[in-house]
A and B are shown apart, each in its own frame.
Chain A
């Protein structure tokens, strides 16, 4: 595979990007969907047009989907199921004094 980008063939399909929107200051960015775009600048612009049309956001992140390493659905059994019977990992056994209020 050549590293000379000038000789790289043009892509027929634009790469996929994941879009994260922060709905207001102080909140975290949340994943809201994905889109196709030629590069990061265009992905940001398209995310603005596709995902913030109804005032959903004050900030946008875009990440190339290829850069995300995801867990495999096939790994579900060994990844997640062992936690099913470890209810003691939920801090539900503490008594919270009334003065503390909502936690």
Chain B
């Protein structure tokens, strides 16, 4: 009997890239606060969150590169793919502001950062928890490590949801506006892409749509404590970042992140 038939099911590299791109893009986005945080302690906390996410992305890219083979490395995957090749949720690439216009640094709003970390963190504690039981051993190991980090990220974000949601009139209004702005983008979680469907069919990945009721419960509990109203979801376009169809914001984020590596390929320091 060949070894291949004995092997436990594993996921394709594309599925690892979806998870990796989520972590890298949000890590890079949140890192924009480094040195600009509302207070010193929170600046450090958010930088920690970013570093955790970038660390998760590295492990996933390294594993994806092994499966892709050839010249692929974590760096080629992070720095030498263009926006249409990225497989992250659109939610994670959006700027830290409620409006779709506005470019000044002063337009960015921490409420958007916190609400996004809360919505994504609520998903990832469920996803990593399920994936740590994956038949794909490398993925299961990454999930077990990432779960601890995701739990802290969710705790951090939930804490601020309640403090600011149930805070002053202004903080409440800003958190509600951020929630109204971001919630529609969470619909992308629940419709599987081809890559996700294939990975699920192999038995090595998680069916994210099946986590929806648990996600709803996690989110609703914190929103109630935060005195925030869950917005009704609009009927219409559901974003498709995980299929490579992105908002205009991702290319700017990638340009900032990738320009150095592209200007000096192979540079080390």
Residues of A within 8 A of B (CB): 10, 14, 35-38, 41-42, 45-46, 49-50, 53
Q: What are the residues of chain A within 8 A of B41 when measuring CB–CB?
A: 35-37, 46, 49-50
27 contacts between A and B (CB under 8 A): A14-B39, A35-B40, A35-B41, A36-B39, A36-B40, A36-B41, A37-B41, A38-B163, A41-B159, A42-B159, A42-B163, A45-B45, A45-B155, A45-B156, A45-B159, A46-B41, A46-B42, A46-B45, A49-B41, A49-B44, A49-B45, A49-B48, A50-B40, A50-B41, A50-B45, A53-B44, A53-B48
Where chain B touches its partner, the secondary structure class is helix
B168 an interface residue at 8 Å Cβ cutoff?
Answer: yes
Contact: A10 with B48, CB < 8 Å? no
Q: What are the residues of chain A within 8 A of B156 when measuring CB–CB?
A: 45
> How distant is B165 from chain A, measured CB to nearest CB, in Å?
14
In the complex, the chain B residue whose C-beta lies closest to that of A14 is B39
Given A35-B41, A36-B40, A36-B41, 12 extra CB contacts under 8 A: A10-B168, A38-B163, A42-B163, A45-B156, A45-B159, A46-B41, A46-B45, A49-B44, A49-B45, A50-B40, A50-B44, A50-B45
In the complex, the chain B residue whose C-beta lies closest to that of A41 is B159
The 8 A CB mask of B41-80 against A (1 = contact, 0 = none) is 1101100100000000000000000000000000000000
Q: What CA separation (Å) do A49 and B149 show in the bound complex?
A: 12
Interface residues of B in 18-50 (CB under 8 A from A): 39-42, 44-45, 48
Q: What CA separation (Å) do A42 and B39 show in the bound complex?
A: 13
